[in-house]
Amino acid sequence: MSLDLDVAKTSIPESGTGGGRRFSINLRQSGIYIAFAAIVLLFTILTGGDMLAPQNISNIIVQNSYILILAIGMILVIIAGHIDLSVGSIVAASGAVAAVLMVNHDIPWPLAVLITLLVGAAIGAWQGYWVAYFGIPAFIVTLAGMLLFRAVTYNILGNRGIGPFPDEVRTLSNGFTDGYLGNIGLGALGGADLVSLLVGVAAVAGIVVTQWRSRAGRVKYGQAVEPFPLFVAKIVVAGFVVMFVVVQLARFRNLPWVLVLLAALVLGYSLLTNRAVFGRQIYAVGGNLQAATLSGVKVKSVVFWIFVNMGVLSALAGIIFAGRLNQANPTGGDQFELDAIAAAFIGGAAVQGGVGKVVGAITGGLIMGVINNGMSLIGAPSEQVMLVKGAVLLAAVAFDVWTKRRAGASR
Partner 1 sequence: MTDSILRMRGISKTFPGVRALDDVNLEVLRGEIHAICGENGAGKSTLMKVLSGVYPHGDYTGEIEFEGQECRFHGIRDSEHRGIVIIHQELALAPNLSIAENIFLGNEQSRRGLIDWNRTNAAAAELMRRVGLRENPVTPVLDIGVGKQQLVEIAKALSKRVKLLILDEPTAALNDEDSAHLLGLLRGLRDEGITCVIISHKLNEVLEIADRVTILRDGRTITTLEAAGLTEDRIISGMVGRDLDHRFPPHEPTIGDEILRVEDWTVHSPTQHGRLLVSGASFTLRRGEIVGLAGLMGAGRTELAMSIFGRAYGTGISGRIFKDGREIRLRSVGEAIAHGIAYATEDRKRYGLNLIEDIKRNVSAAALRKLARRGWVDDNEEYRVADSYRKSLNIKAPGVSSITGKLSGGNQQKVVLSKWIFTDPDVLILDEPTRGIDVGAKYEIYTIINRLADEGKAVLLISSELPELLGLCDRIYTLSAGRITGEVPRAEATQEGLMTLMTSEAPR
Q: Hey, what amino acid is at 281? A: Q
The binder of partner 1 chosen from 267, 294, 351, 394 (CB under 8 A): 294
The distance of closest approach from Cβ of residue 73 to partner 1 in the complex, given in angstroms and rounded to an integer, is: 20
- Smallest Cα–Cα separation from 137: which of 83, 74, 70? 83
Strands 191-193 and 183-185, bridge-based pairing: antiparallel
- Smallest Cα–Cα separation from 138: which of 84, 182, 74? 84
Stretch that binds partner 1, among 15-23, 76-84, 91-99, 122-130 (CB under 8 A): 15-23
SS3 185: strand
The binder of partner 1 chosen from 215, 234, 253, 298 (CB under 8 A): 298
The binder of partner 1 chosen from 46, 168, 280, 403 (CB under 8 A): 280
State the Cα–Cα distance between residues 62 and 69, nearest whole angstrom: 11
**Residues near 186 by Cβ (< 8 Å), separated by ≥ 6?**
192, 247, 251
Q: Find the binding residues for partner 1 in span 190-229 (CB under 8 A).
A: 217-218, 220-224
The distance of closest approach from Cβ of residue 267 to partner 1 in the complex, given in angstroms and rounded to an integer, is: 14
- 99-138 mask for partner 1 (x: CB under 8 A)? ----------------------------------------
Nearer to partner 1, 1 or 147 (CB): 1
CA distances to 26, 170, 175, 184, 344 from 351, rounded to whole Å, are 20, 36, 37, 49, 10
Nearer to partner 1, 192 or 292 (CB): 292
At residue 175, φ and ψ (nearest 5 deg) are -90, 180
- Give the number of C-alpha atoms closer than 13 A to the C-alpha of residue 325, restricted to the C-beta side: 21
Stretch that binds partner 1, among 16-24, 100-108, 161-169, 386-394 (CB under 8 A): 16-24
Nearer to partner 1, 353 or 369 (CB): 353
The binder of partner 1 chosen from 1, 20, 180, 395 (CB under 8 A): 20
Do the Cβ atoms of 289 and 131 come closer than 8 Å?
A: no
**DSSP summary character for residue 254:** S
Residue 300 lies near partner 1 (rule: CB under 8 A): no
SS3 327: coil
The binder of partner 1 chosen from 295, 376, 382, 384 (CB under 8 A): 295
Residue 277 lies near partner 1 (rule: CB under 8 A): yes
Nearer to partner 1, 3 or 114 (CB): 3
The binder of partner 1 chosen from 355, 358, 361, 396 (CB under 8 A): 355
Residues 359, 360, 361, 367: is their CA dihedral positive or negative? positive
Residue 349 lies near partner 1 (rule: CB under 8 A): no
Residue 270 lies near partner 1 (rule: CB under 8 A): no
Nearer to partner 1, 232 or 271 (CB): 271
SS3 193: strand
Which H or E run includes 192?
Answer: strand 191-193
Rounded (10°) CA dihedral 63, 99, 153, 319 = 30
- Smallest Cα–Cα separation from 38: which of 403, 392, 401? 392
Nearer to partner 1, 358 or 367 (CB): 358
The distance of closest approach from Cβ of residue 115 to partner 1 in the complex, given in angstroms and rounded to an integer, is: 27
Q: Hey, what amino acid is at 137? A: P
Residue 290 lies near partner 1 (rule: CB under 8 A): yes
State the Cα–Cα distance between residues 141 and 303, nearest whole angstrom: 13
The distance of closest approach from Cβ of residue 258 to partner 1 in the complex, given in angstroms and rounded to an integer, is: 27
Contact residues toward partner 1 (CB under 8 A) are: 3, 6-7, 10, 12-18, 20-21, 217-218, 220-224, 271, 274-278, 280-281, 283-284, 287-288, 290-298, 350, 354-355, 409-411
